[in-house]
Structure 1
Amino acid sequence: MLSALLIFVFGLSIAAPPSEAQGPGAEVTFTATSANVNDAGRGVKINVFRWSSEDDRNALVAAMNPPAQRGNAEGADERGRGGAGRGAAGARGRGRGDAPAAPPNPMAGLITALERAPTIGYLWLNDSNIGYAIRYAYRTITPDRGERIILASNRRLGDTGTSWKPLAPATSTDYDFTVIELRLDSKGLGEGKASISTKVVVDPDAKMVALDNYAAAPAVLKNVKR
């Protein structure tokens, strides 16, 4: 009886899903319908060849938190050397140091990271031969056994036309890339929202790139199904 109980408990422990399910895995396909954009109602297919790793996730977060440029420090150093009493040389040092360094640009860092990443999937409109390369695909399991999925492309949805232009009252962002966030229930059904009309931020709790204020953002993908 005891041995049977131990086997049962062990079976439960290995069947429980981890909080985060990552790794190469098999190819995954999602279908959906576009919504709240110019060409709403069109079929969409998303193919993910493999999931991004935690290292990939951390690299993307780091790209959005670039270190401050060294212009000010170098200027201060020039001022320090000039202050040693070399007259005109010191004045020239102060002149060069007065120009403030450009502030870090998180979005420039993000697009650079996406440009360097390999293609690990595609997003297609069913009736179009235009596909968007997916350079990042990170998946987490939620407490209710659903899924939160972040996809990113180095291209903006609709960069070749107006199909993906957000409908009012939503306003378009000016990003040259796209971040899509899918939220699915335990049956693999849900919706998706995108950076074409929503800001991109680093989620401090999940420690990953995501969409700002997901609940208030308009869905651009409905009837999402794994």
Structure 2
Amino acid sequence: MRSQTPIRLGVAVAVSITGIALTSAVLSAQAQPDPSGSEALVSERIVATTANLAAGSNVELRVELKRWSTEDERTDILSAAREGPEALQQALRDTDTLGLAFTGDSAVGYFIRYAFRQELPGGGHRVVLATEPRLGSRLARPWRATAAGPDYPFSVIELRLDRNGRGTGTMSFAAQVVVDEPAGTVGLQGFDTAPVLLNGATMEQVGGSGRTS
């Protein structure tokens, strides 16, 4: 049985979306990628359709990933995750941006701060991504699960893909974020029994180094 450390919710952290300035000066200072998702920076592209959400279903989620988290980056994220959601949110803010996640036809992406890929027995991959801020938080009707779930100020996405890069996934709207100690990653509790929130997921390599650690 996997050893998983749950990340307990403490005092809710308000994420202010008003006044987020995606200016070129800010992006340059923080070494952010081109918010248009320029393919020159992209190593992997993941596309899925949201499902089973009270707000946000049947929306395309497109991830343009520049690279995967390094071992040092994963160590920092795991250390913060063990302290709780507030520490994890700050660690996600402090780490490099690894890509962008786009919702629907929006041209402005959510920063991907964590990206992990694990090969599964028999082929295929487990993929874990984390965005900060939370997916759908900029919309008039922010994304939320059909049932009451964790209220994290960030999003964790977990996908299970077959050897052809196709599969399904879920998100932290409906599952608790945990530390998967054996795998050395954050993830979602009870993936096999959690609601499927991402259907028709595909992952393909589209260029770049695609380096992992």
Decide: shared fold, TM above 0.5.
yes
Superposition pairs of residues 54-65 of structure 1, within 5 angstroms = 54-65=71-82
Q: Give distance in 2, aligned partners of 1:42 and 1:163.
A: 12
SS of structure 1 residue aligned to 2:92: helix
Cα deviations across residues 60-96 of structure 1 (Å, max 9, x unaligned)? Answer: 1111234xxxxxxxxxxxxxxxxxxxxxxxxxxxxxx
The structural deviation recorded for 1:139 is 0.7
Paired position in structure 2 for 1:158: 136
Taking CA–CA contacts closer than 8 Å with sequence separation of 6 or more, which of the two structures ends up with the larger relative contact order? 2
Paired position in structure 1 for 2:94: 116
Paired position in structure 1 for 2:159: 182
Aligned residues: 161
Q: Which has the larger radius of gyration?
A: 1
Cα deviations across residues 125-155 of structure 1 (Å, max 9, x unaligned)? Answer: 2322342110111111111111011101121
Paired position in structure 1 for 2:112: 134
The structural deviation recorded for 1:163 is 4.9
The structural deviation recorded for 1:26 is 6.2
Give the TM-score normalised by structure 1. Answer: 0.67
Given the alignment, which residue of 47, 52, 63 partners 2:69?
A: 52
Q: Is the 8 A contact 1:32 1:222 kept in 2?
A: yes
Give the TM-score normalised by structure 2. Answer: 0.71
Decide whether aligned partners of structure 1 residues 39 and 178 sit closer, same or farther in structure 2, where only a CA change above 3 A counts.
closer
Flag the structure with higher strand content: 2
Q: Is the 8 A contact 1:173 1:199 kept in 2?
A: yes
Q: Give distance in 2, aligned partners of 1:172 and 1:131.
A: 24
Q: Give distance in 2, aligned partners of 1:39 and 1:45.
A: 14
Moved over 3 A (4+): none
Structure 1: where are the runs of 5+ without partners?
1-24, 67-105
Identity of aligned residues (%): 37
Q: Is the 8 A contact 2:101 2:112 kept in 1?
A: yes
Flag the structure with higher helix content: 1
Q: Is the 8 A contact 1:35 1:220 kept in 2?
A: yes
The structural deviation recorded for 1:180 is 0.6
Cα deviations across residues 12-39 of structure 1 (Å, max 9, x unaligned)? Answer: xxxxxxxxxxxxx961001111111123
Paired position in structure 2 for 1:207: 184
Q: Give distance in 2, aligned partners of 1:62 and 1:39.
A: 31
| 1:143 partnered with 2:121 | yes
Decide whether aligned partners of structure 1 residues 215 and 222 sit closer, same or farther in structure 2, where only a CA change above 3 A counts.
same
Q: Give distance in 2, aligned partners of 1:146 and 1:189.
A: 9
Q: Give distance in 1, aligned partners of 2:104 and 2:191.
A: 26
Q: Give distance in 1, aligned partners of 2:93 and 2:103.
A: 22
Paired position in structure 1 for 2:148: 171
Structure 2: where are the runs of 5+ without partners?
1-40, 204-213
Q: Give distance in 1, aligned partners of 2:51 and 2:143.
A: 9
Paired position in structure 1 for 2:200: 223
Superposition pairs of residues 34-113 of structure 1, within 5 angstroms = 34-37=50-53, 38-66=55-83, 106-113=84-91
